[in-house]
Amino acid sequence: MKIYIDLYFLINYILDITLLIGTAKVLKLKIHFKRYLLGALVGNISILLLFIQVNEIELFFLKILISSFMILATFGRRNFFKTIFYFYILSIILGGSFYLLDINFNYSDRAYYVNYLLLMIVSPILLYLFIRENIQTKRANTHKYLVEITYKNDVFTTYGIIDTGNCLVDPYKKRSVILVDYPFSLDERNRILVPFKALNTTGLLDCFVPDKVLINDKELKNYLVGISNKELNLCGCRCILPNDLVEVI
């Protein structure tokens, strides 16, 4: 099988730039494009390994060394280990994609370059999907709040998210309602019925005055807790916080 060094260099250079851009997107870093070009150029020093007789262990450590200089040239020393961790994650995704393509083609010259061509087309799509999912997960976790509700001898701990559409208040003292799906045991003396309307449906929600409500270890006063008859599972959260907590938390 023939290997054309110039084509090999170009393909790896483009893939290295793609990896570096993907790493920056995941970490939300603003990097000048010239730094990507420099980092990819450093990464292509690995081409010299084609002409050096080294064993597998030496090759492994040389690749780690080159990739480290590649990250330093692009991103600098700040958060080095976190940056190189995500860089390797993205590299594994691309490497797995290349392996998947590679086993579906024969080892001919033509198939070899078809693999690379397909990888260059598929890799940006895979990186985009991974980065989008990663960013969405981070956003969801960023807006999660640790909620602890104490009522008599019952303590319920979960994660909650603020719902801007949750403007439910009791008509008596205008207290906002924190919605949970935990089956607190209420008696008639402590039950407060709050009317609600959702999707053209009206009804009465069982609410109560909690003994204590902690949101990220911050105690809240003058809030009601409403018990939902339906299971709440929004990004792993079993609690919906009212809209007015945006300015409180």
Domain of 174 in residue numbering reads as 143-246
HSE value, Cβ hemisphere, 13 Å, CA-based, for 37? 3
Q: Mean pLDDT throughout 227-237?
A: 80
Residue 72, pLDDT above cutoff 90: yes
Q: Which of 126-135, 168-177, 192-201, 238-247 has the highest mean pLDDT?
A: 168-177
pLDDT at 203: 87
Residue 192, pLDDT above cutoff 80: yes
Provide φ and ψ at 33, rounded to 5°. -60, -30
* Same domain (yes/no): 119, 160: no
On whether the CB atoms of residues 165 and 242 are closer than 8 A, the answer is: no
Q: How confident is the model at residue 58 (pLDDT cuts 50, 70, 90)?
A: confident
* Same domain (yes/no): 170, 235: yes
**Rounded to an integer, what distance in angstroms lies between the CA atom of residue 71 and that of residue 189?**
64
Q: How confident is the model at residue 172 (pLDDT cuts 50, 70, 90)?
A: confident
Question: What is the CA 131 to chain-centroid distance, rounded?
Answer: 8
Q: What residue has token string 């090759």?
A: 59
On whether the CB atoms of residues 193 and 204 are closer than 8 A, the answer is: yes
* Same domain (yes/no): 13, 117: yes
Give the total number of structural domains in the chain: 2
* Same domain (yes/no): 114, 15: yes
Residue 51, pLDDT above cutoff 80: no
* Same domain (yes/no): 156, 119: no
pLDDT at 137: 61
Domain's final residue, options 141, 157, 182: 141
For the ranges 123-127, 166-170, 177-181, 206-210, which has the lowest average pLDDT?
Answer: 123-127
pLDDT at 70: 92
CATH of the domain at 163: 2.40.70.10
Q: What residue has token string 């086993």?
A: 103
User: What DSSP string describes the chain?
Assistant: ----HHHHHHHHHHHHHHHHHHHHHHHT----HHHHHHHHHHHGGGGGGGGS---HHHHHHHHHHHHHHHHHHHH-STTHHHHHHHHHHHHHHHHHHHHHHHTTS-SSHHHHHHHHHHHHHHHHHHHHHHHHHHHHHHHHHHTEEEEEEEETTEEEEEEEEE-TT---B-TTT--BEEEE-------TTT-EEEEEEETTEEEEEEEE--SEEEETTEEE-S-EEEE-SS---BTTB-EEE-GGGGTT-
Q: Mean pLDDT throughout 223-238?
A: 84
Domain's final residue, options 141, 175, 210: 141
Q: How confident is the model at residue 179 (pLDDT cuts 50, 70, 90)?
A: very high
* Same domain (yes/no): 184, 170: yes
On whether the CB atoms of residues 178 and 224 are closer than 8 A, the answer is: yes
Provide φ and ψ at 63, rounded to 5°. -65, -40
Residue 209, pLDDT above cutoff 90: yes
* Same domain (yes/no): 117, 9: yes
* Same domain (yes/no): 134, 215: no
On whether the CB atoms of residues 97 and 90 are closer than 8 A, the answer is: no
Domain's final residue, options 141, 173, 194: 141
pLDDT tens digits for 4-45?
A: 677 777 878 888 888 898 888 888 788 898 999 999 999 888
* Same domain (yes/no): 13, 134: yes
* Same domain (yes/no): 133, 162: no
pLDDT tens digits for 94-120?
A: 776 666 655 555 555 555 555 566 666
Residue 2, pLDDT above cutoff 70: no
pLDDT tens digits for 110-149?
A: 555 555 666 666 666 766 777 776 666 655 555 788 899 9
Q: How confident is the model at residue 230 (pLDDT cuts 50, 70, 90)?
A: confident
Contacts by 149-153, CB closer than 8 A, 24 or more apart:
149/178, 149/180, 149/182, 149/210, 149/212, 149/213, 149/214, 149/225, 150/210, 150/211, 150/212, 150/213, 151/184, 151/208, 151/210, 151/211, 151/225, 152/211
